Structure 1
Amino acid sequence: MTNIKESFLIQDESKLELPEYIDRPEYVRNKSVGYSLQIAGWFVFMWLFMPLITVFFWWFEGKTIYQQMVIQAEPNSQLSLLNLTVMILLFICVLLLWASYNWVRFVGDERRTAPVEVDEQQLAISFKVNTADILNMQQAKNLTLYYDEKGMLEFFEANHQLKKRISA
């Protein structure tokens, strides 16, 4: 069983074909310039293409609505403009009534409370590790947790060093 389990783990990280800048922050420079270019690109996209797309959809849907509601609909049918308007107004009134009821019911009544603080001992018991390991995990800048197939914590890496193997 261990051979099957080990066959799924990649021992050589060079086979992952990860770019060098993922784990090396010195390769990522001028983040603000990159973010600014991204924002500028989105503004150009919205400025150029969104109005054209919007006009196309307004024209297409407007033509379809006019065809369905005015040309093909009969005045006394269930889908007449008057019946649709009444239904929409009725739904708006029901929604406003429901929102008003909830506002009157819950105004000034804060039911949510802050969660109870968990100390290191309780956290260590829930992860089934000792308190020293929890303190190491909390102080680590980078942390990787490894779980077994049953969802139990096997070991962890903190700051790119193997800290401790956890025995079950």
Structure 2
Amino acid sequence: MNGQKHFDKPLILDSPRLVSKTQYYTEWGINILGWIAWMIFIRPLIILVLWYVAYRFFNYQMFQLEGIENPEYFGIGACVLIGIYLTMLGWSRYNAWRFRGKDRRTSRGEATPGCIAEYYKVRPEDISTLQKSKNIDVYFLEDDIIEIDDGKGIRVKALYAPMNQAKHHDKNIKL
């Protein structure tokens, strides 16, 4: 019967508060050290495998298929590589010259509840209420109509027509 009392203790899995801070941080530390060691030791292994595959490919192409016997292809390959390099270098220099000192990353501006309400054809008060909600559910009712429920009794019908932007900009549509 004494052995049975040993199994009546609460499990850490059921009560995480039973884990001491020392045990918790020790487990995390060992876990992080394990992942660091894994990355340190697995990376050289992956590199060795890739070098081996590259060696086998080079050996097959150059010696078994006698690629070394055709030096004119080296010149063609070198010309192609130099051409690609010069094209990319020229393109990057052109862009650096053309856009020097210009910041092309512009903001679209802040979307106010009024703008959002106008776009989705709802009242601005509904947008403000929905923005304060923690969760919302969206239901697709018809082709271009959605219903948004905040779970507290607020249900809002809105226009959602991503394939027909003209509907969003039409001032005469009311829901």
Q: Under a length normalisation based on structure 2, what TM-score does the superposition of the two structures give?
A: 0.60
- 1:125 & 1:65 partners in 2: Cα distance? 64
**Paired residue for 2:170?**
none
Distance 1:139 1:83, change over 3 A: same
Opposite residue 148 of structure 1, the aligned amino acid is L
Q: Percent identity?
A: 25
Find the partner of 2:36 among 39, 43, 59: 43
Distance 1:36 1:113, change over 3 A: farther
**Paired residue for 1:143?**
136
Give runs of aligned pairs for residues 110-149 of structure 1, distance below 5 A: 110-149=103-142
Distance 1:162 1:70, change over 3 A: farther
Opposite residue 108 of structure 1, the aligned amino acid is G
- 1:128 & 1:119 partners in 2: Cα distance? 14
Q: Does 1:75 align with 2:66?
A: no
Contact 2:147-2:155 at 8 Å conserved across structures: no
Deviation by residue 1:84-113 (Cα, 9 ceiling, x = unmatched): 233223311221111001101111122342
Give runs of aligned pairs for residues 80-119 of structure 1, distance below 5 A: 80=74, 82-119=75-112
Structure of higher RCO (CA pairs closer than 8 Å, 6+ residues apart): 2
Report the number of matched residues: 134
**Paired residue for 1:154?**
147
List gaps (5 residues or longer) in structure 1.
Answer: 1-29
The higher radius of gyration belongs to 2
Q: CA RMSD in A?
A: 3.2
Q: Aligned-pair distance for 1:133?
A: 0.9
Distance 1:89 1:153, change over 3 A: same
List gaps (5 residues or longer) in structure 2.
Answer: 1-20, 159-174
